[in-house]
Amino acid sequence: MKACRKCHILTNRSTCPYCGESTSDNWQGYLIVIDPNNSKIAEKAGLKMPGKYALKVR
């Protein structure tokens, strides 16, 4: 899995399917967002889509 450098979503692609930013293999930790509208963590991190997100991306 790779992580988007901008929105931190995890994907198998070399570019992010949501924002088009390049993805990185160098990431740590992850967060699963099921319902972004009802998650304070997601709101704080600016996450709008359900999915898996990396906590740190380099």
What residue ranges bind Zn ion (CB under 5 A)? 4, 6-7, 16, 18-19, 21
Q: Considering the complex, what minimum distance in angstroms separates the CB of residue 37 from Zn ion? A: 19
33 φ/ψ angles, rounded to the nearest 5 degrees? -110, 120
Q: Considering the complex, what minimum distance in angstroms separates the CB of residue 11 from Zn ion? A: 8
Cβ nearer to Zn ion, comparing 18 with 30: 18
Per-residue burial over 6-23, b = 16 or more CB atoms within 10 Å of its CB, e = otherwise: ebbbbbeeeebeeeeeeb
Q: Considering the complex, what minimum distance in angstroms separates the CB of residue 57 from Zn ion? A: 10
